[in-house]
Amino acid sequence: MLETSRAMKHTSLAESHAHTHPLTDKRTIGFDPALQYVSTTGQHAFVPPGPGDFRGPCPGLNAMANHGYIPHNGIATIDQLVNGSYTVFGMGRELALSLAVYGTVMDGDITLLSVSIGEGNNSFLTQNGLTGSHNNFESDASPTKGDLFQYGNNHDVQMSQFVQLYNLQSNVSDPSQVNYDIDILTTFRSARFQQSIDNNPYFFNGPITGLVFQPAGYQFIYRFMANKSEEYPEGRLDREVLKSFYGITGSEENGFDYTSGYERIPDNWYKRAIGDEYGIVSHFDELSGIALAHPRFLSIGGNTGQVDSFTGVDLTDLTGGVYHASTFLEGNNLKCFTLQAMMMHFPIGATGPLEGVLDELADMADPLLRAWDCPELEKIDESLLEKFPGYLRYPGMEMRD
């Protein structure tokens, strides 16, 4: 079972996080090219990975390493990940910190507060790196990366999936009108979700990987990769920008070429507006809105060793009666559960450098949980997930500990 991580601290941050995030209002977002420009020249010119450099399943992190916004070797500290994510993409600190800490605690080195964005390396790390984070950080039904048990590879682009996404704007003849926005990406996610059920006998949709990180893989594409401009201050993600962030060149007519680890920030590219950072409230609000339209995304469970055998877990049993499927989409229940589920993975009583980081996360989380009037979630009964082979097994390995 998972136990709650730590006592949350009470601060006055609730009011500052209780606002509604502006998503598409061009009058409120604004555009400042001097402040939003992201350099791809000089010290931030594209440099492909070399021997000993790590690249993994996240295209944004790979691009940041290739342009020197985090260390080029792909081993980054929590502070480097947080600062790089803000500098390049305009990710809110509380969201970037939550993701960086979670990845480090689950698959990095908590003594160095660092994690590999690709494979683990014992000379730096004690754990797996993000490539080895399946069912911790990395999930099934990724937009462009293959399900680990289906392909044996969760970090390279599967071209059939990229083309499927790319073609969702094939009916737009004017290139200036192409935009892979949230609606397009949600349509794509629905298709990919079903494809994983239909083709991966070990498909697993976990309480965190399925409800937090899988949707992030789709929402972040538009929220962070879309290029901002005076005309499109909220961002427009066209074909060329999409290809650049996924390390793909060429065209559909003449054939695409993909080079693993060559993700790059496009030239003349601008991040989110200052003051319009996409943070944890923005993400959870959007996640909840999408789930209202597609409640099947919230089905915790998986295939049982055969394709198209998806079986769910009763949410009431999983949470000890705290949450119920019939009311999960009411009020703030989904946001409460997802934040609580993340926080309870953090170690209790940590000392040293990790203690300060966890204190900052507690200072962020507690006012949100109080503002959302969250019920107290004490544990998640993970024993209910052990019947799913996709939860228990790694390809070619025995049952995990």
Q: Which residues pair with 3 in a beta bridge?
A: 379
Other beta carbons within 10 Å of 43: 9
Residue 345: the pLDDT is 87
Evaluate if residue 401 carries a pLDDT over 50: no
Residue 20: the pLDDT is 36
Residue 29: the pLDDT is 81
Q: What are the structural domain ranges in the chain?
A: 2-392
**Helical axes 280-293 vs 333-343, angle rounded to 10°:** 130
Residue 349: the pLDDT is 78
pLDDT tens for 38-75 read 999 999 999 999 999 999 999 999 999 999 999 999 99
Least confident of 251-265, 276-290, 338-352, 356-370: 338-352
Task: Give the helix/strand (H/E) hosting 61.
Answer: helix 59-66
This prediction's pTM: 0.90
Length of the chain (residues): 401
Q: Say which DSSP state 98 is in.
A: H
Look at residue 145 and give its three-state secondary structure: strand
Q: Which residues pair with 76 in a beta bridge?
A: 115
Q: Say which DSSP state 304 is in.
A: -
Q: Residue 127 — very low, low, confident or very high, per pLDDT cuts 50/70/90?
A: confident
pLDDT tens for 246-258 read 999 998 888 999 9
Residue 393: the pLDDT is 60
What residue type is 150 in one-letter code?
Q
Residue 19: the pLDDT is 33
Domain 2-392 has CATH 1.10.489.10: yes
pLDDT tens for 203-216 read 999 999 999 999 99
Residue 3: the pLDDT is 40
Q: Residue 375 — very low, low, confident or very high, per pLDDT cuts 50/70/90?
A: very high
